[in-house]
Every structure is written in C-alpha cells, then in structure tokens.
Structure 1
Amino acid sequence: MSSDNKANFSGVTGTVTSTEQIVPKADFSGVTGTVTSTEEIVGEQQYTVQKGDSLSRIAKNLLGDANAWKRIFEANRDVLDNPDKIFPGQVLKVPPREG
C-alpha cells in the first residue's frame, strides 16, 4: 500500500463553544451573623454532681421533692441519655422550684 492513499487532515481546524454561563463568585466578605434566643431563664441554677448523688437526691435537696428528678432530667437531655448515669463533677441545670 502506498503512502499516497492516506487521508490528509493538515488543514482541519476545530472550535468548541459552550452554553455554560460564567457566573461571578459570590462575595460574602461583608456578611455577619448573630444568634438571639427568645428563651428566658428565670431562677435556673447549676449543680455540680457529687459522689453518691442521684437525680432524686438532687431534686429533694434543691427542689424539695424527690419526684422532681424528672424535671432535672428533662432540663439536661442535651447531656444525659439515662437518668441513672450521672457522674461526679458533671454540671447539671436545675430548673426553678414550682409554685
């Protein structure tokens, strides 16, 4: 086979166009943020758990009712998964006395 039969692509050119839009990057340099809360904490106190404490003992001593342990547990759901598992040094929120 002779080299004269090869296709000659030396004069071929190509162009690629796109319909994609070029969007400038967003400028967030002047953005600020604040967080405000409508939560009002009145009379709430904190208690540091001591060795031998239980939620019912804390409730009896601070709220005057051992059955108020459930209120302490609910106020601390962010740090407590089990009301029977508290440990010395843990800081708990204690809701205000009722009535």
Structure 2
Amino acid sequence: MSNQKTPDFSNVKSDVSSTGEVQPDFGNVKSSVESTGEITGGGGGSGGGGEQTYTVAGGDSLSKIAKQFYGNANKWARIYDANRDQLNDPDKIFPGQVLRIPAQDSDPAA
C-alpha cells in the first residue's frame, strides 16, 4: 500500500463577481416619425388626422408611444391592435420596427 496523501480541497471556495451590469448598446439607434400617406386635420404627435408611422427607438414602449401621439399612455392597445401583423406581445417591440399609429379620432369611444 502507498502512503501518499490525496490533496484536500474541502476548504476551497469559488465566487464570481462583476464590476458592472452588461447593458445593450443602442447608441446607433435613431428614431423618426414618417408618414406613408397624407395626414389630414392636424397630424403630428398630437393626433388628429390620418394614420402615421413611427420607428421604434431604444427604450420605447407602446405606452410611451401612445403618450407621445395621443397624450394618454393608456391608449397603447390602439397601437398594438393596428400592428398585430407584426406584434405578438405588446411588451416586445424592438428598435427599428416601423409601427402604424392610427388616427387619434379613429375610435371616439377610446
């Protein structure tokens, strides 16, 4: 038999740490508002006439976009419904997506 001792690693501990949080870089993302058709009766971010489009920027949400266009973040579902062909989840929009923004007065009950 051998008298060799095996190494004892019972007191060895490991730890992983980081000096910061990894954040995505959206530095090259630009936002703009474009129209694919004629805007009638006002337009712009305040609502009014025809449908507009909006290119999603980093940090955007449907409620933030609704606030910009309708003055009410709770009208996000109007934008979601108008873009169901490209949105499966209202919480998953991405920079660069071009969303249709329905006219402010397209649904008087909303």
- With the shorter chain as reference, the TM-score category is 0.5 to 0.7
**Counterpart Cα distance in 2 of 1:62 and 1:43:** 12
Matched, 1:45 2:75: no
Aligned counterpart in structure 2 of residue 55 of structure 1, from 48, 52, 62: 62
Structure 1 residue matching 2:99: 3-state secondary structure: strand
Question: What's the CA shift for 1:95?
Answer: 0.5
State how 1:48-87 maps to structure 2 within 5 Å. Answer: 48-87=55-94
Question: What's the CA shift for 1:63?
Answer: 1.2
**Counterpart Cα distance in 2 of 1:65 and 1:43:** 18
Q: Match of 1:72, as an amino acid? A: I
Structure 1 vs Structure 2: percent identity of aligned residues? 62
Q: Match of 1:46, as an amino acid? A: T
TM-score, normalisation: structure 2: 0.51
TM-score, normalisation: structure 1: 0.56
RMSD: 1.2
Higher relative contact order (CA 8 A, sep 6+): 1
Unaligned regions of 5+ residues in structure 2, if any?
1-48
Structure 1 residue matching 2:104: 3-state secondary structure: coil
Larger Rg: 1
* Structure 2 residue aligned with 1:89: 96
**Counterpart Cα distance in 1 of 2:74 and 2:51:** 18
Unaligned regions of 5+ residues in structure 1, if any?
1-41
